[in-house]
Amino acid sequence: MLTAQKAHTNGNDFLLVEGSQHKPDELVQKIAHRRTGIGCDQVLFYQKKNNIAQVTFFNQDGSQAALCLNGVYALANHLIKQSPISWQIETQHHTFTSHISNDQLHVAFRQEIILDYRPIERLFVERVPTLNRAFFISVGNHHLVLPEADLGTLELSELAKEIETKGLFPDGINISTFKQQNLETQMQTHERGVGLTLGCGSAALAVFAHQLQQHSKHQAITIKQPGGTVVFEKKQENFYMHAHSQVIATVEINS
């Protein structure tokens, strides 16, 4: 019997599983399925000691992800509810700290999380013209962001399928479109290994990184996704994230 917490951050839902698992990819495909399992976008496996938790991320299809920022936020919320101290969460490449300020959970991390930022290469645009204004951004996992793109959910799904069919990114990629008005941004995301999602924290971070590059005076931004709102702020060398997260239930699974 396996015990897990079902949680979400801005509608991006997870199963939080404490401890390591044999063949986690097979287990994830079983429990993440929305018809035959519990159902979630991703499964997080974590181990904790003192105030430090180490976590790995798996997509709905069983593939491993380098980072899920909404997942980090959901795990931080769960851990602080269990033990109200400042938690440190370690992923494969990055360290996050969490704390409560004015009754709100804030997760902080270094700006070095942004590993790459550049306009999409001309070769890709020649094969998929819709990408002519896209930017490639890496924050541990890879994102394409399309500024001011007027695409509905169906068009975004079709674009993701076209990119996959043409093999532009063999390991897959997350794709987001967004529009900005003043300090508020609306966006939607097609997540690798998941599909259209109500929220994606690392995609929102990629959009924030783009805004910092294009409008450096904007050190804080509010991003609205279908599942809710996330706020990012840059202070000196650190980023701070605030969103809405909730532990929905504790579940027992026949593993």
In 115-183, the DSSP E strands lie at: 116-119, 135-138, 142-147, 174-181
Over residues 150-204, the pLDDT tens digits come to 677 778 889 999 998 888 898 889 999 999 877 789 999 999 888 898 999 999 9
Over residues 104-158, the pLDDT tens digits come to 999 999 999 999 999 998 888 888 988 988 999 999 889 999 987 767 777 888 9
Please give the domain boundaries of the chain with CATH numbers for all domains: 2-110+242-253 (3.10.310.10), 113-236 (3.10.310.10)
Assess contact for 230 and 10: CB atoms under 8 A: yes
The number of C-alpha atoms within 13 Å of 171 and in the hemisphere containing its C-beta is 7
Share of the chain above pLDDT 70, in %: 98
Share of the chain above pLDDT 90, in %: 67
The number of C-alpha atoms within 13 Å of 113 and in the hemisphere containing its C-beta is 28
Q: Cα 54 from chain centroid?
A: 17
pTM: 0.90
pLDDT at 94: 93
Assess contact for 118 and 135: CB atoms under 8 A: yes
